[in-house]
Structure 1
Amino acid sequence: MSELQELTQLQTQAEAELADVKDDRQLEAWRITWLGRKGLVPAAVKKIGSLPKEERAAYGQAVNRLKQAVQAAYEARKQALKEEAMAAELRAEGFDPTLPGRRPSVGKLHPISAAMREIVRIFAHMGFQVYTARDVETDEYNFQLLNFPKGHPAREMQDTFHTTIPDVILRTHTSPGQIHVMRERYPEPIRVVLPGKCYRYEQVTARSEMMFHQIEGLAVGKQITFADLKGTLQAFVDQLFGEGRRLRFRASHFPFTEPSAEVDVDCILCGGKGCRVCKYTGWLEILGCGMVHPNVLRNGGYDPEEWTGYAFGMGPERIAMLLHGVDDIRYFYSNDVRFLEQF
């Protein structure tokens, strides 16, 4: 038998023995026998040196093919045994890999955060910019510069959280941001919304919380009128709730606007028939608004003889209640996953 025939026979024998391997222990024994340092394949490679020169080239090529074939067969069998072991383990556990996987629980926006983003998005399309003001304010910015002098009876409407530092408080509304933005941007025209948290020492009910959110709107320019304010709010309501909703402007009073109004929308929960949330009136207040008071314009650096402006403020919690048909504001802060998963 020639040397080349012996190599062919070696490959056939190696593959036959490999096919009978059933587990990793047998595979390792086969590897040592055929591919180990003293194995049959390395021995065949060393044999090149003992051959006549004219036979070495052909033999070298053949023995390299043998080595590559045996090595490839070993890797293939090793992978096959690994897959067989995994399949056996899955069968033992009763796992069916063809079944669809379970979707992992993922986080999502809180309904109030989603409502705030939608409100900001609508006003951004109207050209309003977002301005962020601080939560901790001074009495001067929260009250005095907004036409609430010390001792003013309107202060009794807002129960304030005071800090241990005199005249430093948690803001009761987002309106102090009006003074900040006017003083920063004077003498430029302004069109901003100011979203944020507010704090009032109030009884927690189905319609109120002691910590809540507000979104303030402010526009300052020349020849701005109440008609501009009404048009802006009607466009906002049409985009938020859909066209066809009715608005009602009721004369009101806020120290920082004159004239002032409260804006109601026909109750989406009851269709105007009356329910607990709308106090059985068919209307639900969604915001307060008015023309910026001359004193506030002056405190912001704008001459009220030359500049005018309007302002409005709304609660995203109330908007979220309307959008989702929720009749109790406390549900939003109960951290009940069963409730929050619905949004």
Structure 2
Amino acid sequence: MADTKHELDAADGNENDAAKRPRYDPNSDQGNGDASGLESPLSGFKTTTVLRDSAREKNMFIHGKLNDQEAVIILEKTPIREDILLELFRCSRLNLDMSNDIYRTYQLQPPAHLNEIKTTVICPATEKHVKKYQLQETYLVEESGEDYRSITLPYIQSQSFSVQWVYNILDKKAEAERIVYEDPDQELGFVLLPDFKWDQKQLNDLYLIAIVHRRDIKSLRDLNVLHLPLLINIRKKGEENIFKRYGVTANKLKVYLHYQPSYYHLHVHFTALSYEAPGCGVERAHLLSDVIQNIQLDYEYYQSRSLSFPLRADDGLLSKFREAGRL
């Protein structure tokens, strides 16, 4: 984070001082450490449009340009943690807004280090990234097994849905230090690491992802009886290692798969039962325990069963369902 002097210089428009400061490369690893003395990586960002914002969730998604490249920036207020309350109350400035009998409201201005905004930068961003975060209407689609084979699968195969970033994790080329646990078996194994939605500072919103080593399973639709050992292994070892690392028991976890998934490489979500994670609703989330039991009852359950899922108005798959007369 830039120090106060640099922030004041920037605010005053001191171009000479700004020119002397080293440029910050958003694609480098410098953002993992102390950025004092460096120009902010977002100083060159020019806003094009606000894609979506939520007062309730306290986040904002912005499309623009960063160093002449298309970029999407996600701003999220970090949660208030119990361990900072004493410092928050002692060291913050309070400005009175209203006083009426026993009720008072204030604007609380905490110290800078207690007032962080988690910032995610996607650069260069593609049109798909922009559309992903743009506020749009959604529609519930009911997909039969035949719909999957004739509509969804050909569409997936025709698109360039890159999962290289997933392979980078599995090959330890990126995020290796974030891996909480790994079962290296190439048939039954997986890596377990925190989702970026979780700041890893409190357990109420615990969120981890198990990514399988196998590269031939795209989604729930590919699962059959041959994959039961893999699914059982993920559930057992995932729950065991979350308990070892964080002390959270299995009966306080939601363990589920998304359909449609956000990327087509099999992965399983582990979230705190108390956390209403994005995509955990019944229209998209399938409990891993249910998936295992369904396959035990019918070995090809997910090849024949109709599955419902939401699609955004601009989703190409929605267009394919419309063209096929399925909406």
TM class by smaller structure: under 0.3
Superposition TM-score, scaled by structure 1 size? 0.21
Higher helix share: 1
Larger Rg: 1
